[in-house]
Each structure stands twice: as structure tokens, then as C-alpha cells.
Structure 1
């Protein structure tokens, strides 16, 4: 039986997005593995040092470039990747999904974010890379350095929330806006960690890669579960729902 034209177009679109998602996940995992290998061999040390020193005033490593106002702004941005803010953001999206009647999707989001947090802790424990001691730290830190937990969890949380919210939107431009905004927040958080001297640049790059791989892997899993009726289906551009 031939599908109606709008449903057929939506199905083709979802299949194309699935293929793109697989490519993104594979590329992000490859990027993380490559960074981890280079880090373990010590090949990233010169790059890491050069970037950290470039962000400090010549002759005074305790003074980041840009002045006190930029340093305060970076501390504010780094908080966006902290447990408190990420928990509040996740809770807000969970409530939104529940109010829309998407209880299965809400539970899925909660499991996805918690799973990403567990992966971040495991990766830090596995690599146990010391924090940078080249420059003074701009904020207090206690855990290992690789990968950057703030960078990874910002990517995991914001991208996962954006993907799940985008599934409820009918307008393509709003979907794009949500994904771009999530990516921008993750970039700002990671950049702030390097600026404040609490992470090597390679820590942040690895955190972004692993976080993006997890988030887009979650998106693929959500699509698979929706096709099987386990969570609420994605809404199409005109409000239509693709066949299972």
C-alpha cells in the first residue's frame, strides 16, 4: 500500500536523519578514541600548553587575558555545566514533557542524562589524568581531568534535552534553533574550563566528542523506540505522525 505523500516524505526525512545521526555518532567516537590515544602517548602536551599559555597575560600566568570582567563572565558560563544548573534544566524539561503527556519520553530523558553522568565518571576514573598545573586555577576542582566532565555533561544534557524537545516541535526552524543553542552552550562551557585553567584543551575536546556521541546515540535510540511504540512518536512538520 502506497503511503500518502506527506507521510512518505516524513518517513524519508527520518531515514535520512537516522543515517546522519549514525555518521555523527561514529565520528564523535572516533574523535574521542583518537584524542585518548594521543593523550596517553603524550603527543598533545605541546598543544595543550600552548593554548593555556595563550590565554594568560605574558609574564603573569595568574592573570587571564581579557581582564577581570571576562574572568567573571567565564565563571558564570562554567556554572552552566555544573550539576546544579544541569539538574534544574533537566527537571524543567521533564516537567514539560510530563505536562504534554509524554511520560515515557520523560523517563527516557532521565535515564539518558543519568547514564551520561555515569559514563563521565567512569571515563575520568579510567584515565585519571591530573589537572593542569601550568597556570593557577580560576575555580575549585576535585576530580580527574580527562575528559572534561563539565564539557561532556553540558553536551550530553543540553543536546539530549534539545533533541527530545525538538521531537515535539512541528516547525523545522525551531528544531534547528534548539540544537544550535544546545551546541553553543556546550561550546561556551568547555571554553570557560580552558580559560579558567582547570582543564587541558584536549580534555575539553574529548568531553565534547564523548558527550556528542552519547547525545546523538540517545537520539537514534529514541527514534528506534518510537518506531516500536515504546515512547511517544516524533511529530512531523504538519503535526503528522509517521507509521510504525
Structure 2
């Protein structure tokens, strides 16, 4: 008896099933991150994180002179260099370059993904800062700040931008080791930017945690929306 070869329709159905499972898992992950943000925000509003915030913040300061971070002067300068990777200007340049490349290569859906993620992330960050209006830490720092403290905009936007671009680069390469490298690099850059904000004394650790939660959730939701739109368009 001849073996039955899989039809093209079977492959399409398997593809839809696989995309559906990934969509469910991704939405669950985004929901968990948003729930974590909500619980964290509630604790911050009630003042229950003051002891933790203060202890971690002071752990990065010189015991004899809390106005200075721990370590030699070159380490503080390095911290400022790292924190600039999460600045709106740098991330805007990187995002515009990525969108331009994707448009040239006719990857319009992914160009829309980057634009939606970054622009939407900046809007959400601004609205959340206005809503919570948390004062910045009262330690002396050498980095100028212009907005409220919660959540950290650098942490949030770096998570949105680096995770979105890292996922795109991973998707473009079939080698799993390369995929893991790009995702790991995106996570590393996101974490380092967030830590630099606490090290420089411009954010409480809960600001950074909140930024990571919202930024990662928004990046996942944007990716889910684009994948859903792609699947619907291919039917």
C-alpha cells in the first residue's frame, strides 16, 4: 500500500496551528508581564517598595560619599555611555535605519512592526510617567533628567527596540545558535541599560523593573499583531 504524501493544504494547516500555539503562548507571556507591572505599580503607590528601592540604590553609591556611584571615575563614565544606548535619540536613529532597510527590501509588515513598537512604546511610556508622576531619587547624579521616574523610559524603550530587532534578526536566520545569539544580545543590552539607570542614581530599581515589564509586553503584543495580520493576509 502506497504511503500517502502530505498535501500542501496539510502543510498550511500545520503552519496555522503552529502560529496559533505561538500566539497563545506569546499573549500569555504578555499578559503575565502586564500583571506583574500592575502588582508592582500598586506596591509603589502604597509605598511598600521604599525600603527595597533605597537599599538597592545605596548599594550602588559610595558609602563615604552617597553623591558618587561606587567604582573609579572611568566606571561612571562607562555607565553614562551604556545608558545612552537607551536614549530616545539613539533608539530613534536605530529604528529609522531599520525601518528604511526593511522598506528597501520590501518587508513592509516588519517595517510597520518596528515603527509601531517604537512609536507606540514612546507614547505609552510618556502617558505612564504622567499618570504616576513619581519623583526621581533624591541622590545627586550627573545625568540630566526631564521626566518623572516611574516607569523608566530608558528601560522600557530599550526593551521594546532591542527585543523587536533581536527577534527580527533571529527570524531571518535558520541556525538556532544564531537565533539564540541575537535574542541573548537583545536581552543583554536591555538589562545593561536598565542597570545603568540605577547605577547612575536617576531611577529606582522598581522603575526599571516596571519599564522592562511594560516594554517587553508591548514588544510581544506588537509582534503578535503583525503575525496575526500576516496570517490573515495569506489566507
Structure 1, unpaired ranges of 5+ = 230-242
How many angstroms apart in 2 are the aligned matches of 1:67 and 1:15? 51
CA RMSD across the alignment: 2.0
Task: Tell me which residue corresponds to 1:116.
Answer: 121
Task: Tell me which residue corresponds to 1:68.
Answer: 73
Q: Structure 1, residues 157-203: CA drift from partner, whole Å, max 9, x if none?
A: 11122233434333333333222211211111100000000001100
How many angstroms apart in 1 are the aligned matches of 2:118 and 2:82? 20
Task: Tell me which residue corresponds to 1:102.
Answer: 107
Task: Tell me which residue corresponds to 2:85.
Answer: 80
How many angstroms apart in 2 are the aligned matches of 1:226 and 1:166? 18
Q: 1:90 aligns with which of 72, 89, 95?
A: 95
Sort the Cα spacing of 1:131 and 1:82 in 2 relative to 1 into closer, same or farther, 3 A: same
- Per the normalisation by structure 1, the TM-score is 0.87
Matched, 1:46 2:17: no
Sort the Cα spacing of 1:228 and 1:7 in 2 relative to 1 into closer, same or farther, 3 A: closer
Q: 1:18 aligns with which of 10, 19, 23?
A: 23
Larger deviation, residues 210-219 vs 108-117: 108-117
Deviation at 1:144, TM superposition (A): 0.2
Deviation at 1:110, TM superposition (A): 1.1
Secondary structure of the residue aligned to 2:68 is: strand
The alignment covers a number of residue pairs equal to 230
Q: 1:228 aligns with which of 222, 225, 232?
A: 232
The answer to whether the 8 A contact 1:164-1:219 is kept is no
Sort the Cα spacing of 1:173 and 1:5 in 2 relative to 1 into closer, same or farther, 3 A: farther
How many angstroms apart in 1 are the aligned matches of 2:21 and 2:179? 16
